[in-house]
Amino acid sequence: MSNPIPESERTDIEAAAFRRLVKHLQEHTDVQNIDLMNLAGFCRNCLSKWYRAEAEERGFEVSDPEAREEIYGMPYEQWKATYQTGPKQEHQP
């Protein structure tokens, strides 16, 4: 039987899992946002909007470009120019 995770550790574990997800998406640039939307119902842009909303809920101002750079690992326009394939395919939740 596994030990329950104490609440004092839960946030750190969740944050680490989020960072691992972001790193995974940054490393797998061949996966397009439209693919993510079709399969999972969210994309990198969704993550950046959730990041921004959570920051603002805690009193921190984060612009859309800043939030996207946190998720993409580079400015969004640079990522699109370098990695986006096919016609413009952007999800707007």
**Domains of the chain: which residue ranges?**
9-83
Task: Over range 55-80, report the average pLDDT.
Answer: 96
Q: Just give the CATH number of 9-83.
A: 1.10.3340.10
pLDDT digits (tens, 9 = 90+) for 9-34: 999 999 999 999 999 999 999 999 99
Give the C-alpha separation, 84 to 78, whole Å: 10
Residue 49: closest CA among 59, 39, 62:
62
DSSP state, residue 56: H
Task: Over range 1-11, report the average pLDDT.
Answer: 88
Token code pair at residue 29 = 């640039």
Percent of the chain with pLDDT strictly greater than 70: 91
**pLDDT tier for residue 86 given thresholds of 50, 70 and 90:** confident
* pTM attached to this predicted model: 0.84
Task: Over range 60-84, report the average pLDDT.
Answer: 96
Token code pair at residue 8 = 């004092």
